[in-house]
């Protein structure tokens, strides 16, 4: 079991899902990297699946009563009205998950957790979109380089 200081993201000791499933270019020639992150990672991070860490869950999935495949993602949304996080962990967003009993579970991760998981520098990159897959068993995380802030002219 990894010590908390050994974690690269909550409940995670190694980078995962680092190869983009797609790279798109915007109209302004900005590359966006799209990664597939399975629901089970969010369930371990949120504590819904009780594992020492994500790697322990992956190595021993057959021994867990609760597994990612039993859940589905209903929707994902950013909380734009929320106050900034004092711990510096990025924009909050919620994943509304339906469990095997059709009960709602809300996961409240942070965008910086995804950047850490996917091995991006949070000073240089940002999460710009998170959307559930058509199968509702994972999310597509879109990441791009941070754009320089351009102040408005008065």
Residue 39 has which token pair?
């629901």
Provide Rg for the chain, Cα atoms.
16
Could you report the per-residue pLDDT of 118-152, keeping only the tens digit for each?
999 988 998 999 999 999 999 999 999 988 765 55
Structure-token match 């495949």, residue found: 69
The Cα 98–Cα 80 span in angstroms is 23
Average pLDDT along the chain: 83
pTM: 0.83
pLDDT band for 1, please (50, 70, 90 cuts).
very low
Instruction: List the 104-107 sheet strands across, edge first.
Output: 72-78, 93-98, 104-107
The Cα 19–Cα 36 span in angstroms is 9
Cα–Cα separations (whole angstroms), residue 147 to 15, 66, 109, 113: 25, 40, 23, 20
């Amino acid at each position: 079991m990894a010590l908390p200081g050994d974690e690269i993201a909550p409940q995670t000791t190694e980078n995962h899902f680092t190869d983009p499933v797609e790279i798109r270019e915007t109209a302004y020639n900005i590359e966006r990297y799209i990664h597939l992150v399975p629901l089970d990672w969010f369930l371990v991070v949120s504590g819904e699946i009780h594992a020492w860490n994500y790697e322990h869950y992956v190595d021993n999935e057959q021994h867990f009563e609760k597994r990612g495949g039993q859940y589905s993602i209903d929707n994902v949304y950013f909380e734009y009205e929320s106050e900034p996080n004092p711990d510096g962990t990025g924009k909050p967003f919620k994943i509304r998950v339906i469990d095997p009993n059709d009960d709602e579970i809300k996961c409240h991760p942070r965008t910086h957790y995804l950047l850490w998981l996917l091995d991006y520098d949070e000073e240089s990159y940002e999460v710009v979109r998170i959307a559930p897959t058509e199968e509702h068993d994972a999310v597509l995380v879109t990441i791009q380089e941070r754009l320089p802030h351009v102040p408005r002219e008065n």
